[in-house]
């Protein structure tokens, strides 16, 4: 499966971010905790050069907690401040304000020495499509400031949001990079929903999901669908899922396409358990 997706609006968004970065003190990057490396846009490192950095491991409630801790340590070893969050749960966001202050400590001290007091920290919130930026901003602000949606590409332009006297956020569209040289990256992004489903072969994607789960989290499909999967190929397992969930077409024929969509929806919603698809050092 060859996966590439780079809509035209992303080029425009990247240009706007390059202009706005001059105004920014801190870059807050949201990544999906299930694929913390694959869900990082490699262009962000050059874009944010010289700026304070912070990573939010979003959807950490859906990821393997043991690997959450390992990934947090991996980012911190690179000098990047980290908070594990679930953007839908305000309780997990309580640490963010304090870590923002910590990440910008040098900037705050420079302002103090110049006699500049209480100037708000300006942050740019970045991330790939469907990683939860707008949900995070709305939860963090306590009000609906940014458009959200359960599909990539909802946010189209940059938007300044003043949270309080000490913090301003710049919401930016989700941007990918023009080409996935490593197709395993494209596969992982498709699995978490960061690639437009309309360009994907869902049957093939579901088959790849089954292969990964069998290898990395054996027993997951048995627990969810009460199916034995050992020594079975993905196509046969998809047929078993179609039977187990009564995914049938007229005449009683198995609706494998519906079973594939169901499996992918379950994976993305965390109904298959806490799964992380990559680990530091791979």
Contacts of 169 by beta carbon, 8 Å cutoff, 6+ apart = 28, 123, 124, 125, 137, 140, 141, 160, 161, 163
Per DSSP, what are the bridge partners of residue 169? 123, 161
The response to whether 223 counts as a known ligand-binding position is no
Q: Are 238 and 263 in contact (CB under 8 A)?
A: yes
> Distances in Å between the alpha carbon of 279 and those of 36, 189, 216?
8, 15, 11
8 A C-beta contact, residue 261 and residue 197: no
Q: Is residue 60 a known part of a binding site?
A: yes
Q: Is residue 135 part of an annotated ligand binding site?
A: yes
Q: Which helix (H) or strand (E) holds 84?
A: strand 81-84
59 is in an annotated binding site: yes
Is 214 annotated to bind a ligand? Reply is no
174 appears as a binding residue in the annotation: yes
d(CA 88, CA 58): 9
Cα R_g (the chain), whole angstroms: 20
Residue 61 among known ligand-binding residues: yes
26 close to 104: Cβ distance less than 8 angstroms? yes
Residue 133 marked ligand-binding: yes
- Residue numbers belonging to the annotated binding site: 58-61, 130-135, 174
- Residue numbers belonging to the annotated binding site for GTP: 58-61, 130-135, 174
């Amino acid at each position: 499966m060859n996966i590439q997706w780079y809509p035209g609006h992303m080029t425009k968004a990247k240009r706007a971010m390059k202009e706005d970065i001059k105004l920014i003190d801190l870059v807050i990057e949201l990544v999906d905790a299930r694929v913390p490396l694959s869900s990082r846009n490699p262009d962000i490192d050059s874009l944010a050069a010289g700026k304070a950095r912070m990573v939010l491991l979003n959807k950490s409630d859906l990821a393997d907690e043991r690997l959450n801790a390992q990934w947090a340590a991996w980012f911190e070893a690179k000098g990047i401040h980290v908070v594990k969050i679930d953007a839908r749960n305000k309780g997990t966001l309580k640490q963010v304000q304090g870590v923002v202050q910590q990440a910008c400590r040098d900037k705050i001290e420079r302002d103090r020495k110049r006699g500049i007091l209480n100037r708000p920290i300006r942050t740019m919130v970045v991330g790939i499509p469907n990683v939860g930026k707008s949900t995070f901003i709305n939860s963090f602000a306590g009000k609906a400031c940014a458009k959200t949606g359960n599909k990539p590409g909802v946010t189209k332009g940059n938007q300044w949001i003043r949270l309080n006297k000490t913090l301003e956020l710049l919401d930016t569209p989700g941007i990918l990079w023009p080409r996935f040289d490593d197709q395993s990256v494209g596969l992982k992004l498709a699995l978490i929903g960061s690639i437009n489903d309309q360009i994907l072969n869902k049957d093939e994607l579901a088959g790849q999901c089954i292969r990964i789960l069998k290898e990395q989290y054996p027993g997951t499909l048995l627990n969810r669908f009460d199916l034995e999967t050992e020594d079975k190929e993905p196509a046969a397992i998809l047929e078993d899922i179609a039977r187990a969930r009564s995914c049938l077409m007229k005449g009683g024929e198995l609706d494998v396409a519906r079973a594939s969509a169901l499996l992918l929806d379950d994976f993305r919603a965390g109904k298959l358990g806490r799964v992380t698809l990559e680990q530091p050092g791979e």
